[in-house]
Amino acid sequence: MPTPQIPTATPAAIVDALKAGAVVPPKVRASFGKGRCVRGTYVPSDRAEEITRSRSFTRPSRVLARFSIGSTNPGATVTDNLVLSGFSFRLGEIHHRSDILAQSAPVHFAKTLDQMLAFLEARIPGPDGSPDIERVKAFSAANPETLHQAGYIAAHPLPRNFASTTYWGVHSFPATNSAGETRFIKFKVTPVGAEVAPRESDLTASFANFLHDDLEHRVTSGDIRFSVMALLDRPGDPTTDVTIRWPDEDNREEIRLGTIVITGLEPDETCDASAFDPANLAEGIAQPPDEIFAARCAAYAISLTTRR
Ligand code: HEM
């Protein structure tokens, strides 16, 4: 068996590179900076316990959540929908809380921490304010798997609202059910319900501002619902490479763990006071085994201290 490579990149170096690449202002998240804090409820399905005994997913609870746009600072104008959006949510009552951080693409842009750092560093703008295109091209040619996420985004432009977007947890999470059986699942969070047409005025707004205005409009005019789905593994699935999907992933057997209903807006300070922490998982869902996941917990804690 090959010896796993010990990454030389540190979570702190990644946070610095995220900030340098997006020119993030002080006190803003190193990634997914522009966002909106909301609240809601979670109700489990009657099949949740077949997949996990986690009390976060098998009991009703309140939800704190945040919709966001990837890699942009709060002042940025995003003019098109070829970007990532994020949906982070915390569910479960006290002592049984879990945080799931999901994004609108099913894959991450790097397989290892070293590759992630090199990807970000290749895009840091030079003195003219733009990244060196030749450097980016050379990096992409030498690291073709780092293009999978961009390829997905290009083929799946975001719908013009957070509420109609599908979000993925990306990693393979070991889930233990009420019978004590463990298998890998992937989280997929899918919108439920009828489309609400965008308002005329929103169609001329910048994309990121539009998304946030639209969210406020939808929350006040009706509820926003998502099904929290568990995609089920098959023998031989790749569980440590976050740049690739499971074979035939779109046709996997999936079980609805429960439903999230977004019921109101929360002051952004409520979400900003702490970090959604991917390692915060109640017993019954364990940490994914890949090295990218392992680095996330430290990176989010570092980002939190720098934005306080
Ligand atoms: C599968 C991979 C990943 C997904 C789906 C993901 C998703 C997200 C989301 C949704 C947020 C916004 C959190 C919020 O709303 O408060 C976020 C923030 C962030 N991400 Fe990731 N991320 C991934 C990988 C990583 C990795 C590998 C690192 C670094 C090693 C990283 C570093 C950060 C940092 C520093 C923040 C800001 C945290 C804060 O200040 O609270 N992410 N990510």
pLDDT, one tens digit per residue, over 182-238 is: 999 999 999 998 555 555 555 556 666 777 777 888 887 767 999 999 999 999 999
Positive/negative CA dihedral, 234, 235, 239, 244? negative
Residue 60 one-letter amino acid:
P
Positive/negative CA dihedral, 56, 90, 116, 153? positive
Residue 256, CA atoms < 13 Å, CB-side half-sphere? 13
Judge whether 302 and 12 are in contact, CB under 8 Å.
yes
CA of 206 to the centre of ligand 1 (A): 24
How many CB atoms lie under 10 A from the CB of residue 220?
Answer: 9
- Confidence class of residue 295 from pLDDT cuts 50, 70 and 90? very high
Q: What confidence score (pLDDT) does residue 198 get?
A: 52
For the CA of 293, the closest atom of ligand 1 is: 27
Least reliable range by pLDDT among 11-25, 74-88, 101-115: 74-88
Q: What confidence score (pLDDT) does residue 108 get?
A: 97
Q: What pLDDT digit, counting tens, does each position of 164-177 carry?
A: 899 999 999 999 99
| Main-chain phi, psi angles of 88, to 5 degrees | -105, 140
Instruction: Give the CATH superfamily of 11-307.
Output: Catalase core domain (2.40.180.10)
Q: Is 304 in the pocket of ligand 1 (CB under 6 A)?
A: yes
Q: Is 64 in the pocket of ligand 1 (CB under 6 A)?
A: no
CA of 47 to the centre of ligand 1 (A): 29
- Confidence class of residue 59 from pLDDT cuts 50, 70 and 90? very high
CA of 46 to the centre of ligand 1 (A): 31
- Confidence class of residue 22 from pLDDT cuts 50, 70 and 90? confident
- Kindly list the domain boundaries of the chain, sorted by start residue: 11-307
Average pLDDT over residues 108-133: 92
- Confidence class of residue 158 from pLDDT cuts 50, 70 and 90? confident
Q: What confidence score (pLDDT) does residue 174 get?
A: 98
For the CA of 110, the closest atom of ligand 1 is: 27
Pairwise CA distance, residues 49 & 55, whole Å: 9
CA of 136 to the centre of ligand 1 (A): 22
Asked if the model's pLDDT at residue 117 lies above 70, the reply is yes
CA of 254 to the centre of ligand 1 (A): 25
Q: What pLDDT digit, counting tens, does each position of 130-142 carry?
A: 889 999 999 999 9
Q: Is 296 in the pocket of ligand 1 (CB under 6 A)?
A: yes
Pairwise CA distance, residues 88 & 39, whole Å: 11
- Confidence class of residue 248 from pLDDT cuts 50, 70 and 90? very high
Q: What is the mean pLDDT of the chain?
A: 89
* Residues with Cβ within 8 Å of residue 223, at least 6 apart in sequence: 261, 262, 263
For the CA of 116, the closest atom of ligand 1 is: 27
Percent of the chain with pLDDT over 90: 71
Q: Is 115 in the pocket of ligand 1 (CB under 6 A)?
A: no
For the CA of 29, the closest atom of ligand 1 is: 40
Q: How far apart are the first and last CA of the chain?
A: 44
Q: Is 14 in the pocket of ligand 1 (CB under 6 A)?
A: yes
Q: What confidence score (pLDDT) does residue 96 get?
A: 96
List the one residue out of 44, 95, 91 whose CA is nearest residue 276.
91
Q: Is 242 in the pocket of ligand 1 (CB under 6 A)?
A: yes
CA of 300 to the centre of ligand 1 (A): 7
Mutation probe of ligand 1 site: the residue of 27, 29, 188, 307 with most atoms within 8 A of C-beta:
29
CA of 5 to the centre of ligand 1 (A): 23
Percent of the chain with pLDDT over 70: 88
- Nearest residue (CA) to ligand 1, atom 28: 296
- Confidence class of residue 4 from pLDDT cuts 50, 70 and 90? low
Asked if the model's pLDDT at residue 116 lies above 90, the reply is yes
Average pLDDT over residues 45-71: 95
Asked if the model's pLDDT at residue 100 lies above 70, the reply is yes
Q: Is 29 in the pocket of ligand 1 (CB under 6 A)?
A: yes
Q: What confidence score (pLDDT) does residue 226 get?
A: 96
Q: Is 31 in the pocket of ligand 1 (CB under 6 A)?
A: yes
Q: Burial level of 240, CB count in 10 A (0-12/13-18/19+)?
A: middle
